[in-house]
Amino acid sequence: MWNLMVVEDEPIVRMGLRYMIHWENLNVCWKAEASNGEEALGILADEDIHIVMTDIRMPGMDGLALADEIKRRNPSIALIFLSSYDNFPYVKEAVRLGAVNYLHKPTMDEREVEETLQKAVEQLERTMQCQPPQLMEEKINAFLLSLLDKYTYPARIIVPELLEEPYRSRGVWLTTFRVRDDAASGVAETDRMKFLSIRCVIDEYASREWGGFVFHRNHREIIWLAPAVAGTGAEGKEARDAYVDKLRQRVFELLNVPLVISCSSVYGRLDQIPKAYLEAELNCPANQQFHSLHVRLAKEYVDRHLLEDVSLAKVAETIAISPSYLSRIFLKEVGESFSDYVIRNKTEYSKKLLRETNLKVYEIAEKLGYTNPHYFSKLFKERVGMTPLEYRNQ
């Protein structure tokens, strides 16, 4: 079902359109309506919209300005324009923006609206077929990674399976996998191909017998987020431990790669996934070559004190090692420097605040422990490629 949003400042026109045709028969869901362009952009930020039918002449942001912004944010959205004016410049601009059709409100009828919707659906189906699969995979991977940290946890779950059974009532748990350090080749391309092979094996066997989602962080760590109850009906700690061991053995048999594995217990709510991930990180056996105890403690400290002025010296003092040693082992085991790790996490949280709150930039900087908002904006632009305000307005 394709989601439709109608943007029209006259309520009577919106009502007339809503009851003019049977939208569901065209595989279209009347998802949302807005009375102006600004309201429509707010809805687009929160809802998954595929088709926008918008009036051209509206107070404030008009339909053409709205369409320009929509195309900049998401070029795959199908646009349909409405207007009371049979005006050639409007038609010309609609064509430039790639509109599906330009409907003249005083003369349009049920058949014309239906044909336009059918054309929009056909356009969307072609677009989805042409979309590179890796782009969708990267989007889902980024979303699943955002679930792992309370500072980046999303306002909306975009993977519908997570809102269904068995996740909804039985809970979730997760497992982390890494190639043991002494099994790494030291050649980046070789290690990357090995990593992809491991991920494919885990994904194939986990999804086939238990279920869940397999994703990765920077091609260094594989995370398996699973329902508490397997597709086969298995449940309980004993069953989970046995299945994880089975996965470990399968990877070793097929690829001759030893893995370091750590699991969480079951958590009843999706918003507790960050706790599950932290538990898995801290549960890693000390005698296995994963993150060392000191690195795990340093990451835990950063996660718990992200909204403060976190420094390498302060963390090193807390976990009783020298700053230089912590800096060296952190870079080796995590793959980025301690300061880059802190800045990346603060940046991700600031992106969430920019998307989901009305806090001013200086307030966000202050909240993240930056006393100088200009320095915060500079760091943000270096990592995101745009200023905080540009990111919020995109």
d(CA 206, CA 188): 26
Q: Read off the tokens for 42.
A: 């707010």
DSSP 74-98: -TTSEEEEEESS--HHHHHHHHHTT
Q: Which of 113, 131, 149 represents a domain boundary (last residue)?
A: 131
- Specify whether 170 is located in the same domain as 251: yes
The answer to whether 345 and 305 have CB atoms below 8 angstroms apart is no
How many CB atoms neighbour CB 235 within 10 A?
16
Q: Read off the tokens for 364.
A: 């966000």
- Specify whether 284 is located in the same domain as 392: no
The answer to whether 79 and 69 have CB atoms below 8 angstroms apart is no
Candidates 308, 309, 284; CA nearest to 296 is 284
- Specify whether 17 is located in the same domain as 109: yes
Q: Which of 263, 290, 317 represents a domain boundary (last residue)?
A: 290
d(CA 312, CA 253): 41
Q: For the chain, how many structural domains are there in total?
A: 3
Domain around 314: 292-394
pLDDT, tens digit (0-9, with 9 covering 90-100), for 77-92: 888 988 776 554 556 5
Instruction: Give the CATH number, domain containing residue 23.
Output: 3.40.50.2300
- Specify whether 54 is located in the same domain as 31: yes
Contacts of residues 353-360 at CB distance under 8 Å and 24 or more positions apart, as own/partner, are: 354/388, 354/391, 354/392, 355/45, 355/155, 355/392, 356/155
DSSP 3-state of 7: strand
Angle at the Cα of 18 (from 17 to 21), degrees rounded to 5?
80
Q: Name the pTM for this structure.
A: 0.51
The answer to whether 7 and 58 have CB atoms below 8 angstroms apart is yes
Candidates 261, 239, 235, 264; CA nearest to 250 is 261
What's the chain's average pLDDT? 82
The winner for highest mean pLDDT among 13-22, 226-235, 329-338 is 226-235
pLDDT of residue 187: 47
pLDDT of residue 277: 92
The answer to whether 385 and 345 have CB atoms below 8 angstroms apart is no
Instruction: Give the CATH number, domain containing residue 205.
Output: 3.30.70.270
- Specify whether 285 is located in the same domain as 337: no
- Specify whether 166 is located in the same domain as 303: no
CA distances from residue 242 to 127, 245, 359 in whole angstroms, order as listed: 43, 5, 47
Q: 260: part of which helix (H) or strand (E)?
A: strand 259-263
- Specify whether 212 is located in the same domain as 80: no
CA end-to-end distance (rounded Å), the chain:
27
Instruction: Give the CATH number, domain containing residue 377.
Output: 1.10.10.60
- Specify whether 166 is located in the same domain as 113: no
pLDDT level of residue 223 (50, 70, 90 thresholds):
very high
* Residue 193 clears pLDDT 90, i.e. is over it: no
- Specify whether 307 is located in the same domain as 279: no
pLDDT of residue 95: 61
pLDDT of residue 228: 93
d(CA 221, CA 227): 20
Secondary structure letter of residue 20 according to DSSP: T
* Residue 94 clears pLDDT 70, i.e. is over it: no
| Higher pLDDT, residue 181 or 41 | 41
Cis peptide upstream of residue 166 (ω within 30 degrees of 0): yes
Q: 274: part of which helix (H) or strand (E)?
A: helix 273-282
Strands 28-34, 101-104: parallel, antiparallel or unpaired by DSSP?
unpaired
Give the mean model confidence (pLDDT) for residues 108-122: 88
- Specify whether 146 is located in the same domain as 268: yes
Q: Which of 96, 131, 166 represents a domain boundary (last residue)?
A: 131
- Specify whether 282 is located in the same domain as 154: yes
- Measure the CA dihedral 276/279/284/285, to 10°: -130
Q: Read off the tokens for 85.
A: 């004016």
d(CA 114, CA 26): 8
- Specify whether 213 is located in the same domain as 247: yes
d(CA 338, CA 197): 29
